[in-house]
């Protein structure tokens, strides 16, 4: 499925946090959205999911395979969330319900979106866990018994179980160790390639972006200041914001000697 955002604005309490953003995520593509805190990238993601705070005013258009999402009620959006479009957020510690076993949480989108038997839900949860590299015993574990990396894998399994056509990932590896991060990034690439899903990957980290996305849009103060192939953005950034990000990244990230 494709996702098209056109001239999106989000205003919260008189403050314009997203200011005329347009993005095109083609079917089966991996698009990055990069920017620093407050640049509007998370607000854009939340707008796509219809999860903005109630006082937010949204104008513009968000189309999922041509179907307009802006203006849909919560009730109309609910069947899409978790099914056609799913999201993975930053912190695996807060994304899981501490009093529900992993297996039940992973299967929850299935139970919410259709009638599945308990045995079927369990079987598919185990399959989804296997897909992200977790074994069956994890299904009976509680969130506190898992490491950060295992939890984030479980969150990804939950996002994937209903086979969404579009996956939104908002800083999904920021809370993880670097070795776990590498595994989770590889997992995203593989799942998108094998499933033919489309991925919108939100990050503040250019080095992470370079691992997952082919194209990217750079956000600053709610606007897209530059977009294009990731290799071009990193190699010859045109806008001062992009240049600043690239320079700061070169000054702080690992460079093989």
Partner 1 sequence: MTDSDTQHVDGGTGPLLSGRGLSRTFTLPRRSPLQPGPVRHALVEADLDVGRGESVALIGESGSGKSTLVRLLLALDRPTAGTVTFDGREVRPDRASRLRWLRRRTGVVLQDPYSSLDPRMRIGDVVAEPLRLLHVPGDHERMVADVLDRVGLDPQGVDLWPHELSGGQRQRVALARAVVHGPDLLVGDEPMSALDVTVRAQILGLLAELRHDLGLSLLIVSHDVGLVQHLSDRVAVLQGGRIVEQGATADVLGRPQHDYTKRLIASVPTLDGS
Task: Enumerate binding residues for partner 1 (CB under 8 A).
Answer: 36-37, 147-148, 177-182, 185, 204-208, 210-211, 230-231, 234, 244-257
Q: How far is the CB of 37 from partner 1 (least distance, A)?
A: 5
Give the single-character DSSP code of 165.
S
- Separation between Cα atoms, residue 155 and residue 174, nearest integer Å: 14
- With a CB cutoff of 8 Å and minimum separation 6, the contacts of 6 are 22, 60, 61, 62, 63
**55 vs 254, beta carbon nearer partner 1:** 254
Q: Where in the chain does DSSP place strands (E)?
A: 3-12, 15-25, 30-34, 57-64, 67-68, 85-88, 166-170, 198-203, 215-220, 223-229
Q: How far is the CB of 196 from partner 1 (least distance, A)?
A: 22
**35 vs 82, beta carbon nearer partner 1:** 35
Q: How far is the CB of 248 from partner 1 (least distance, A)?
A: 4
Q: How far is the CB of 255 from partner 1 (least distance, A)?
A: 7
- Separation between Cα atoms, residue 59 and residue 185, nearest integer Å: 33
Q: How far is the CB of 21 from partner 1 (least distance, A)?
A: 19
**69 vs 150, beta carbon nearer partner 1:** 150
218 touches 35 (CB < 8 A): yes
SS3 163: coil
Q: How far is the CB of 256 from partner 1 (least distance, A)?
A: 7
**17 vs 208, beta carbon nearer partner 1:** 208
**66 vs 257, beta carbon nearer partner 1:** 257
**108 vs 170, beta carbon nearer partner 1:** 170
**71 vs 244, beta carbon nearer partner 1:** 244
- Per-residue exposure over 89-123, b if at least 16 CB sit within 10 Å of its own CB, e if not: bbebeebbeeeebbbbbbbbbbeebeeeeeeebbe
- Per-residue exposure over 6-32, b if at least 16 CB sit within 10 Å of its own CB, e if not: eebbbbeeeeebbbebebebeeebbbb
- Separation between Cα atoms, residue 2 and residue 153, nearest integer Å: 25
Q: How far is the CB of 207 from partner 1 (least distance, A)?
A: 4
């Amino acid at each position: 499925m494709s996702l098209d955002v056109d001239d999106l604005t989000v205003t919260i309490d008189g403050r314009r946090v997203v200011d005329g953003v347009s993005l095109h995520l083609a079917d089966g593509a991996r698009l990055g959205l990069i920017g620093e805190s407050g640049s509007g990238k998370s607000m854009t993601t939340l707008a796509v999911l219809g999860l903005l705070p109630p006082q937010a005013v949204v104008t513009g258009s968000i189309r999922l395979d041509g179907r307009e999402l802006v203006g849909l009620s919560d009730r109309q959006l609910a069947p899409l969330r978790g099914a056609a479009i799913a999201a993975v957020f930053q912190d695996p510690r807060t994304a899981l319900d501490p009093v529900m076993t992993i297996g039940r949480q992973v299967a929850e989108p299935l139970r919410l979106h259709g009638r599945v038997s308990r045995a079927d839900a369990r079987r598919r949860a185990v399959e989804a866990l296997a897909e992200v590299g977790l074994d069956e015993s994890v299904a009976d574990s509680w969130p506190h018994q898992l490491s950060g990396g295992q939890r984030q894998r479980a969150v990804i399994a939950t996002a994937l179980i209903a086979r969404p056509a579009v996956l939104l990932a908002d800083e999904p590896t920021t809370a993880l160790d670097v070795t776990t991060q590498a595994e989770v990034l590889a997992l995203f690439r593989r799942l998108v390639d094998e499933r033919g899903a489309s991925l919108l990957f939100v990050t503040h980290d250019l080095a992470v972006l370079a691992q997952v996305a082919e194209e990217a849009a750079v956000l600053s103060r709610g606007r897209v200041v530059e977009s294009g192939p990731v290799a071009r953005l990193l190699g010859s950034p045109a806008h001062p914001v992009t240049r600043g990000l690239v320079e700061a990244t070169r000054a702080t990230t690992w460079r093989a000697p």
